Amino acid sequence: MHPKTLSILPVAFAIAAGALAPSSVSLAASHAVKRTAPAKAKSETPAQAPLAGETAVAGGAPALAAKAWLLMDFDSGEVLASANADEPLPPASLTKMMTSFLVEQALRSGKLKKDDLVTVSQTAWCRGSSTESCMYLPLNSQATVLDILRGIIIQSGNDASKAIAEHMAGSEEGFAKLMNAEAQRLGMTHTHFVNATGLPDPDHKASARDLAILARAIIRDSSDYYPIYAEREFKYNGIKQGNRNALLYTDPTVDGLKTGHTQEAGYCLVTSSKRNDMRLITVILNTNSAQARADQTRTLLGWGYSNFEKATPFQPNAVVSTAKVVFGKADTVAAGLASPWTVTVPRGQQVRTSVQIKPDLEAPVAKGAVIGKVIAESNGKQVGEAPLVAQADVDRAGFFLRMWQRLMRLFGK
Protein backbone atom coordinates (compact mmCIF):
# COMPACT_ATOMS: atom_id res chain seq x y z
CA MET A 1 0.00 0.00 0.00
CA HIS A 2 1.40 3.44 0.88
CA PRO A 3 2.34 5.41 3.97
CA LYS A 4 -0.43 7.46 5.56
CA THR A 5 1.90 10.13 6.87
CA LEU A 6 2.50 11.51 3.40
CA SER A 7 2.00 15.28 3.05
CA ILE A 8 2.23 17.58 0.08
CA LEU A 9 2.11 21.23 1.00
CA PRO A 10 0.57 23.73 -1.40
CA VAL A 11 3.72 25.81 -1.38
CA ALA A 12 5.51 22.96 -3.10
CA PHE A 13 3.32 23.62 -6.12
CA ALA A 14 4.16 27.30 -6.39
CA ILE A 15 7.91 27.04 -6.76
CA ALA A 16 8.95 27.48 -10.37
CA ALA A 17 7.96 30.80 -12.00
CA GLY A 18 5.24 31.27 -9.45
CA ALA A 19 3.99 27.92 -10.62
CA LEU A 20 4.45 24.27 -9.76
CA ALA A 21 7.16 21.71 -10.13
CA PRO A 22 6.57 20.12 -13.53
CA SER A 23 6.60 16.63 -12.03
CA SER A 24 3.49 17.47 -10.03
CA VAL A 25 1.22 17.78 -13.01
CA SER A 26 1.53 14.47 -14.73
CA LEU A 27 -1.49 12.31 -15.23
CA ALA A 28 1.02 9.52 -14.87
CA ALA A 29 2.53 11.54 -12.03
CA SER A 30 5.14 10.33 -9.64
CA HIS A 31 4.12 9.28 -6.13
CA ALA A 32 3.23 12.19 -3.88
CA VAL A 33 6.61 12.08 -2.13
CA LYS A 34 8.36 12.93 -5.37
CA ARG A 35 6.07 15.85 -6.23
CA THR A 36 7.83 18.15 -3.78
CA ALA A 37 11.02 18.26 -5.85
CA PRO A 38 11.40 20.41 -8.98
CA ALA A 39 11.36 18.41 -12.18
CA LYS A 40 14.50 17.90 -14.18
CA ALA A 41 14.82 19.22 -17.70
CA LYS A 42 14.69 15.69 -19.06
CA SER A 43 11.06 15.41 -17.90
CA GLU A 44 10.03 18.12 -20.32
CA THR A 45 8.55 17.30 -23.68
CA PRO A 46 9.99 18.91 -26.84
CA ALA A 47 9.03 22.57 -27.12
CA GLN A 48 6.42 23.56 -29.68
CA ALA A 49 7.13 26.37 -32.11
CA PRO A 50 5.29 29.62 -31.18
CA LEU A 51 1.81 29.46 -32.67
CA ALA A 52 0.05 32.70 -33.61
CA GLY A 53 -3.70 32.85 -33.21
CA GLU A 54 -6.71 34.36 -34.95
CA THR A 55 -8.42 37.33 -33.32
CA ALA A 56 -10.40 40.46 -34.13
CA VAL A 57 -7.91 42.65 -32.29
CA ALA A 58 -5.72 44.88 -34.42
CA GLY A 59 -2.12 43.74 -34.11
CA GLY A 60 -3.10 40.14 -33.48
CA ALA A 61 -2.83 37.81 -30.53
CA PRO A 62 0.36 36.61 -28.84
CA ALA A 63 2.15 33.61 -30.33
CA LEU A 64 2.26 30.76 -27.81
CA ALA A 65 4.47 27.68 -27.90
CA ALA A 66 1.61 25.20 -27.66
CA LYS A 67 0.06 22.80 -30.13
CA ALA A 68 -3.33 24.46 -29.65
CA TRP A 69 -4.69 27.27 -27.48
CA LEU A 70 -7.84 29.33 -27.03
CA LEU A 71 -9.29 32.31 -25.17
CA MET A 72 -13.08 32.38 -24.61
CA ASP A 73 -15.44 34.94 -23.10
CA PHE A 74 -17.48 33.08 -20.49
CA ASP A 75 -20.67 35.16 -20.71
CA SER A 76 -21.20 34.86 -24.45
CA GLY A 77 -19.16 31.78 -25.24
CA GLU A 78 -17.45 33.74 -28.01
CA VAL A 79 -13.88 32.74 -28.88
CA LEU A 80 -11.75 35.89 -28.61
CA ALA A 81 -8.53 34.35 -29.92
CA SER A 82 -7.38 30.86 -30.83
CA ALA A 83 -4.93 28.67 -32.70
CA ASN A 84 -5.68 25.11 -33.87
CA ALA A 85 -8.88 25.34 -31.85
CA ASP A 86 -10.60 22.39 -33.53
CA GLU A 87 -7.74 19.90 -33.80
CA PRO A 88 -8.50 16.75 -31.75
CA LEU A 89 -5.57 16.18 -29.39
CA PRO A 90 -4.84 13.93 -26.40
CA PRO A 91 -6.37 15.79 -23.42
CA ALA A 92 -4.72 13.82 -20.59
CA SER A 93 -6.34 14.64 -17.23
CA LEU A 94 -8.38 17.48 -18.72
CA THR A 95 -10.66 14.52 -19.45
CA LYS A 96 -11.58 14.55 -15.77
CA MET A 97 -13.49 17.79 -16.26
CA MET A 98 -16.15 15.70 -18.01
CA THR A 99 -15.94 13.03 -15.32
CA SER A 100 -16.46 15.61 -12.57
CA PHE A 101 -19.16 17.42 -14.57
CA LEU A 102 -21.22 14.25 -14.88
CA VAL A 103 -20.88 13.68 -11.13
CA GLU A 104 -21.93 17.28 -10.44
CA GLN A 105 -24.96 17.04 -12.68
CA ALA A 106 -25.99 13.74 -11.08
CA LEU A 107 -25.75 15.44 -7.68
CA ARG A 108 -27.76 18.35 -8.99
CA SER A 109 -30.53 16.10 -10.33
CA GLY A 110 -30.64 13.89 -7.25
CA LYS A 111 -29.33 10.76 -9.00
CA LEU A 112 -26.38 10.92 -6.60
CA LYS A 113 -26.18 12.22 -3.05
CA LYS A 114 -23.09 13.73 -1.45
CA ASP A 115 -22.88 11.03 1.20
CA ASP A 116 -23.53 8.06 -1.13
CA LEU A 117 -20.73 5.51 -0.71
CA VAL A 118 -18.59 4.48 -3.68
CA THR A 119 -16.73 1.16 -3.51
CA VAL A 120 -13.15 0.89 -4.79
CA SER A 121 -12.88 -2.21 -6.97
CA GLN A 122 -9.76 -4.10 -8.00
CA THR A 123 -10.01 -2.37 -11.37
CA ALA A 124 -10.22 1.13 -9.91
CA TRP A 125 -7.56 0.64 -7.21
CA CYS A 126 -4.19 2.26 -7.84
CA ARG A 127 -2.31 -0.64 -6.17
CA GLY A 128 -0.11 1.81 -4.31
CA SER A 129 1.20 2.93 -7.69
CA SER A 130 3.88 5.59 -8.00
CA THR A 131 3.38 5.88 -11.77
CA GLU A 132 0.02 7.61 -11.96
CA SER A 133 -2.02 10.27 -10.19
CA CYS A 134 -4.04 8.72 -7.39
CA MET A 135 -6.34 9.68 -4.56
CA TYR A 136 -4.90 6.57 -2.85
CA LEU A 137 -8.21 4.94 -2.07
CA PRO A 138 -7.65 1.59 -0.30
CA LEU A 139 -8.79 -1.54 -2.12
CA ASN A 140 -12.41 -2.51 -1.32
CA SER A 141 -12.84 0.64 0.76
CA GLN A 142 -15.73 3.05 0.39
CA ALA A 143 -15.63 6.83 0.01
CA THR A 144 -18.41 9.38 -0.22
CA VAL A 145 -19.33 10.88 -3.57
CA LEU A 146 -18.22 14.31 -2.34
CA ASP A 147 -14.78 13.01 -1.31
CA ILE A 148 -14.50 11.22 -4.65
CA LEU A 149 -15.35 14.47 -6.45
CA ARG A 150 -12.60 16.31 -4.58
CA GLY A 151 -10.21 13.47 -5.33
CA ILE A 152 -10.93 13.85 -9.04
CA ILE A 153 -10.72 17.65 -9.21
CA ILE A 154 -7.94 18.46 -6.73
CA GLN A 155 -5.84 15.29 -6.65
CA SER A 156 -6.54 14.22 -10.25
CA GLY A 157 -7.12 10.70 -8.97
CA ASN A 158 -7.34 8.00 -11.60
CA ASP A 159 -8.66 5.64 -8.93
CA ALA A 160 -11.39 8.11 -7.95
CA SER A 161 -12.36 8.60 -11.61
CA LYS A 162 -12.60 4.87 -12.29
CA ALA A 163 -14.49 4.17 -9.07
CA ILE A 164 -17.19 6.77 -9.75
CA ALA A 165 -17.42 5.61 -13.38
CA GLU A 166 -18.16 2.07 -12.21
CA HIS A 167 -20.58 3.37 -9.59
CA MET A 168 -22.58 5.44 -12.07
CA ALA A 169 -22.46 3.27 -15.19
CA GLY A 170 -21.36 -0.22 -14.10
CA SER A 171 -18.06 0.04 -15.95
CA GLU A 172 -15.63 2.63 -17.23
CA GLU A 173 -16.63 1.72 -20.79
CA GLY A 174 -20.26 2.38 -19.95
CA PHE A 175 -19.33 5.68 -18.34
CA ALA A 176 -17.42 6.71 -21.48
CA LYS A 177 -20.71 6.39 -23.38
CA LEU A 178 -22.28 8.83 -20.93
CA MET A 179 -19.32 11.16 -21.42
CA ASN A 180 -19.69 11.11 -25.20
CA ALA A 181 -23.44 11.64 -25.02
CA GLU A 182 -22.93 14.69 -22.80
CA ALA A 183 -20.18 15.99 -25.09
CA GLN A 184 -22.60 15.76 -28.01
CA ARG A 185 -25.30 17.57 -26.04
CA LEU A 186 -22.90 20.41 -25.22
CA GLY A 187 -21.79 20.76 -28.85
CA MET A 188 -18.30 19.32 -28.41
CA THR A 189 -17.91 18.24 -32.03
CA HIS A 190 -14.21 17.30 -32.05
CA THR A 191 -14.11 15.14 -28.93
CA HIS A 192 -14.29 11.42 -28.27
CA PHE A 193 -13.80 9.85 -24.85
CA VAL A 194 -12.67 6.27 -24.26
CA ASN A 195 -12.08 6.41 -20.50
CA ALA A 196 -12.78 8.54 -17.42
CA THR A 197 -9.14 9.40 -16.66
CA GLY A 198 -7.44 10.58 -19.83
CA LEU A 199 -4.90 7.76 -19.84
CA PRO A 200 -3.50 7.45 -23.38
CA ASP A 201 -5.61 5.81 -26.06
CA PRO A 202 -5.40 6.52 -29.81
CA ASP A 203 -9.15 7.17 -29.95
CA HIS A 204 -9.27 9.44 -26.89
CA LYS A 205 -9.20 13.05 -28.16
CA ALA A 206 -10.55 16.53 -27.48
CA SER A 207 -10.08 19.95 -29.05
CA ALA A 208 -9.26 23.23 -27.36
CA ARG A 209 -12.64 24.69 -28.35
CA ASP A 210 -14.49 21.69 -26.95
CA LEU A 211 -12.62 21.83 -23.65
CA ALA A 212 -13.51 25.52 -23.32
CA ILE A 213 -17.17 24.65 -23.98
CA LEU A 214 -16.96 22.04 -21.22
CA ALA A 215 -15.28 24.46 -18.81
CA ARG A 216 -18.02 27.01 -19.48
CA ALA A 217 -20.69 24.40 -18.78
CA ILE A 218 -19.05 23.49 -15.46
CA ILE A 219 -18.92 27.12 -14.33
CA ARG A 220 -22.49 27.81 -15.50
CA ASP A 221 -24.26 24.60 -14.49
CA SER A 222 -22.28 23.36 -11.48
CA SER A 223 -22.28 26.50 -9.37
CA ASP A 224 -22.74 24.55 -6.13
CA TYR A 225 -19.57 22.56 -6.76
CA TYR A 226 -17.45 24.93 -8.85
CA PRO A 227 -15.67 26.35 -5.75
CA ILE A 228 -13.96 22.94 -5.39
CA TYR A 229 -11.92 23.74 -8.52
CA ALA A 230 -10.26 26.59 -6.59
CA GLU A 231 -9.33 24.53 -3.52
CA ARG A 232 -5.58 24.33 -3.17
CA GLU A 233 -5.31 21.03 -1.32
CA PHE A 234 -7.26 17.99 -0.21
CA LYS A 235 -6.37 15.45 2.48
CA TYR A 236 -7.77 11.94 2.32
CA ASN A 237 -6.68 8.76 4.07
CA GLY A 238 -3.96 10.74 5.84
CA ILE A 239 -2.45 11.91 2.54
CA LYS A 240 -2.47 15.60 1.67
CA GLN A 241 -2.06 16.59 -1.96
CA GLY A 242 -1.97 20.04 -3.48
CA ASN A 243 -3.89 21.25 -6.50
CA ARG A 244 -1.62 21.20 -9.55
CA ASN A 245 -3.05 24.40 -11.04
CA ALA A 246 -0.16 26.81 -10.47
CA LEU A 247 -2.20 29.94 -11.02
CA LEU A 248 -4.35 29.23 -7.97
CA TYR A 249 -1.29 30.15 -5.89
CA THR A 250 -0.19 33.21 -7.84
CA ASP A 251 -3.29 34.89 -9.31
CA PRO A 252 -6.22 35.62 -6.98
CA THR A 253 -8.57 36.08 -9.97
CA VAL A 254 -8.10 32.44 -11.06
CA ASP A 255 -10.60 29.96 -9.61
CA GLY A 256 -10.21 26.80 -11.74
CA LEU A 257 -10.15 24.47 -13.58
CA LYS A 258 -7.80 21.53 -14.42
CA THR A 259 -4.30 20.43 -15.39
CA GLY A 260 -3.18 17.43 -17.39
CA HIS A 261 -0.02 15.72 -18.55
CA THR A 262 1.04 12.60 -20.36
CA GLN A 263 3.96 12.07 -22.71
CA GLU A 264 1.53 12.10 -25.66
CA ALA A 265 -0.44 15.14 -24.52
CA GLY A 266 2.41 17.26 -23.16
CA TYR A 267 1.54 19.72 -20.40
CA CYS A 268 -2.02 21.05 -20.59
CA LEU A 269 -4.07 23.56 -18.61
CA VAL A 270 -7.64 24.87 -18.66
CA THR A 271 -8.09 27.97 -16.52
CA SER A 272 -10.83 30.44 -15.65
CA SER A 273 -10.26 33.93 -14.31
CA LYS A 274 -12.70 36.66 -13.29
CA ARG A 275 -11.64 40.30 -13.07
CA ASN A 276 -14.32 42.86 -12.29
CA ASP A 277 -17.31 41.91 -14.46
CA MET A 278 -15.42 39.85 -17.05
CA ARG A 279 -14.67 36.13 -16.85
CA LEU A 280 -12.26 34.57 -19.36
CA ILE A 281 -11.52 30.89 -20.03
CA THR A 282 -8.16 29.76 -21.42
CA VAL A 283 -7.06 26.43 -22.87
CA ILE A 284 -3.40 25.53 -23.41
CA LEU A 285 -2.64 22.14 -25.01
CA ASN A 286 0.70 20.41 -25.44
CA THR A 287 3.37 22.66 -23.99
CA ASN A 288 6.72 21.27 -22.88
CA SER A 289 6.60 21.94 -19.12
CA ALA A 290 4.38 22.87 -16.20
CA GLN A 291 6.08 26.25 -16.08
CA ALA A 292 5.39 26.84 -19.77
CA ARG A 293 1.67 26.08 -19.49
CA ALA A 294 1.38 28.40 -16.48
CA ASP A 295 3.39 31.19 -18.13
CA GLN A 296 1.42 30.95 -21.38
CA THR A 297 -1.86 31.08 -19.50
CA ARG A 298 -0.71 34.21 -17.66
CA THR A 299 0.28 35.76 -20.98
CA LEU A 300 -3.06 34.93 -22.60
CA LEU A 301 -5.12 36.19 -19.65
CA GLY A 302 -3.11 39.42 -19.46
CA TRP A 303 -3.51 39.98 -23.19
CA GLY A 304 -7.24 39.22 -23.03
CA TYR A 305 -8.01 41.63 -20.20
CA SER A 306 -5.87 44.34 -21.83
CA ASN A 307 -7.51 44.08 -25.24
CA PHE A 308 -11.19 43.41 -24.53
CA GLU A 309 -13.92 45.16 -22.59
CA LYS A 310 -17.60 44.72 -21.77
CA ALA A 311 -20.27 46.64 -23.66
CA THR A 312 -24.01 46.94 -22.96
CA PRO A 313 -25.96 47.24 -26.23
CA PHE A 314 -29.32 47.81 -24.48
CA GLN A 315 -30.52 48.33 -20.94
CA PRO A 316 -32.78 45.56 -19.55
CA ASN A 317 -35.95 47.70 -19.55
CA ALA A 318 -35.43 49.23 -22.96
CA VAL A 319 -37.81 48.50 -25.84
CA VAL A 320 -35.55 47.07 -28.54
CA SER A 321 -38.16 46.59 -31.26
CA THR A 322 -41.89 46.31 -31.91
CA ALA A 323 -43.40 43.07 -33.19
CA LYS A 324 -46.53 42.84 -35.31
CA VAL A 325 -49.26 40.55 -33.95
CA VAL A 326 -52.12 39.08 -35.96
CA PHE A 327 -55.52 38.13 -34.57
CA GLY A 328 -54.87 39.97 -31.34
CA LYS A 329 -56.70 42.70 -29.43
CA ALA A 330 -53.54 44.73 -30.08
CA ASP A 331 -51.75 44.93 -33.42
CA THR A 332 -48.25 45.13 -31.93
CA VAL A 333 -46.28 44.24 -28.82
CA ALA A 334 -43.03 45.71 -27.51
CA ALA A 335 -39.99 43.41 -27.60
CA GLY A 336 -37.22 43.77 -25.05
CA LEU A 337 -34.52 41.90 -23.17
CA ALA A 338 -35.47 39.31 -20.57
CA SER A 339 -32.34 39.98 -18.49
CA PRO A 340 -29.24 42.21 -18.47
CA TRP A 341 -27.04 41.64 -21.52
CA THR A 342 -23.41 42.46 -22.09
CA VAL A 343 -20.98 41.51 -24.84
CA THR A 344 -17.20 41.39 -24.89
CA VAL A 345 -15.55 43.39 -27.69
CA PRO A 346 -12.11 44.68 -28.59
CA ARG A 347 -11.44 47.87 -26.67
CA GLY A 348 -12.61 51.02 -28.44
CA GLN A 349 -14.72 49.27 -31.08
CA GLN A 350 -18.36 50.13 -31.62
CA VAL A 351 -21.15 47.59 -31.24
CA ARG A 352 -23.84 47.38 -33.92
CA THR A 353 -27.07 45.47 -33.42
CA SER A 354 -29.69 43.88 -35.64
CA VAL A 355 -33.07 42.46 -34.68
CA GLN A 356 -34.85 39.34 -35.89
CA ILE A 357 -38.53 39.04 -34.97
CA LYS A 358 -40.55 35.87 -35.49
CA PRO A 359 -42.73 36.28 -38.60
CA ASP A 360 -46.51 35.80 -38.45
CA LEU A 361 -46.68 36.22 -34.70
CA GLU A 362 -50.20 35.19 -33.77
CA ALA A 363 -52.17 35.98 -30.62
CA PRO A 364 -52.41 35.06 -27.88
CA VAL A 365 -48.92 36.18 -26.89
CA ALA A 366 -47.90 35.82 -23.25
CA LYS A 367 -45.74 38.42 -21.53
CA GLY A 368 -42.20 37.02 -21.38
CA ALA A 369 -42.61 34.75 -24.40
CA VAL A 370 -39.59 34.69 -26.72
CA ILE A 371 -40.58 36.44 -29.94
CA GLY A 372 -37.20 37.11 -31.53
CA LYS A 373 -33.58 37.89 -30.88
CA VAL A 374 -31.07 40.73 -31.09
CA ILE A 375 -27.61 40.13 -32.54
CA ALA A 376 -24.54 42.21 -31.68
CA GLU A 377 -21.64 42.67 -34.09
CA SER A 378 -18.30 44.40 -33.74
CA ASN A 379 -15.92 44.99 -36.63
CA GLY A 380 -18.10 42.78 -38.82
CA LYS A 381 -18.00 39.78 -36.44
CA GLN A 382 -20.85 38.53 -34.32
CA VAL A 383 -19.98 38.90 -30.65
CA GLY A 384 -23.22 37.79 -29.03
CA GLU A 385 -26.97 37.46 -29.20
CA ALA A 386 -29.85 37.64 -26.73
CA PRO A 387 -33.52 36.60 -26.84
CA LEU A 388 -36.21 39.24 -27.15
CA VAL A 389 -39.39 38.69 -25.17
CA ALA A 390 -42.87 40.20 -25.28
CA GLN A 391 -43.19 43.02 -22.79
CA ALA A 392 -46.96 42.58 -22.38
CA ASP A 393 -49.77 40.08 -22.87
CA VAL A 394 -51.70 40.24 -26.13
CA ASP A 395 -55.05 38.48 -25.88
CA ARG A 396 -56.65 36.83 -28.87
CA ALA A 397 -59.28 38.93 -30.55
CA GLY A 398 -62.93 37.93 -30.64
CA PHE A 399 -64.46 36.12 -33.59
CA PHE A 400 -65.81 39.16 -35.46
CA LEU A 401 -62.62 41.16 -34.96
CA ARG A 402 -60.55 38.25 -36.24
CA MET A 403 -62.81 37.99 -39.31
CA TRP A 404 -62.37 41.70 -39.97
CA GLN A 405 -58.60 41.35 -39.61
CA ARG A 406 -58.61 38.43 -42.04
CA LEU A 407 -60.46 40.54 -44.59
CA MET A 408 -58.04 43.43 -44.13
CA ARG A 409 -55.11 41.07 -44.67
CA LEU A 410 -56.81 39.58 -47.72
CA PHE A 411 -57.04 43.04 -49.30
CA GLY A 412 -53.56 43.95 -48.18
CA LYS A 413 -54.62 46.52 -45.63
Q: Give the model confidence (pLDDT) of 10-65 as tens digits.
A: 434 443 334 333 333 333 333 333 333 333 334 566 677 788 888 878 788 999 99
Q: Which of 32, 21, 248, 10 is nearest to 136 (CA)?
A: 32
Domain end call among 308, 330, 348: 308
pTM metric for this prediction: 0.82
Q: How far is residue 82's CA from residue 72's CA, in Å, rounded to a whole number?
A: 9
Residue 52 has a CB neighbour count (10 Å cut-off) of: 12
CA angle, residues 246, 344, 64, in degrees to nearest 5 = 40
Q: How far is residue 35's CA from residue 46's CA, in Å, rounded to a whole number?
A: 21
- Please report whether residue 162 resides in a domain: yes
Q: How far apart are the first and last CA of the chain?
A: 85
- Please report whether residue 183 resides in a domain: yes
229 neighbors 256 (Cβ within 8 angstroms): yes
265 & 234 share domain = yes
366 & 330 share domain = yes
Strands 352-357 and 343-346: unpaired
- With cut-offs at 50, 70 and 90, classify the pLDDT of residue 405: low
Any idea what the CATH number is for the domain that residue 402 is in? 2.60.410.10
What is the DSSP code (8-state) at residue 230? G
Q: Give the model confidence (pLDDT) of 172-185 as tens digits.
A: 999 999 999 999 99
233 & 138 share domain = yes
Any idea what the CATH number is for the domain that residue 112 is in? 3.40.710.10
Does the bond joining 138 to the residue before it have cis omega, within 30 degrees of 0?
A: no
- Number of domains present in the structure of the chain: 2
What dihedral do alpha carbons 387, 55, 75, 198 form, nearest 10°? 120
Domain end call among 262, 288, 308: 308
Q: Give the model confidence (pLDDT) of 337-373 as tens digits.
A: 988 899 999 998 889 999 999 988 988 999 999 999 9
Average pLDDT over residues 319-326: 92
**Which residue range is the domain that position 223 belongs to?**
10-308
Query: How does DSSP assign 87-123, residue by residue?
Result: --B--GGGGHHHHHHHHHHHHHHTSS-TT-EEE--TT
Active-site positions read 93, 96, 156
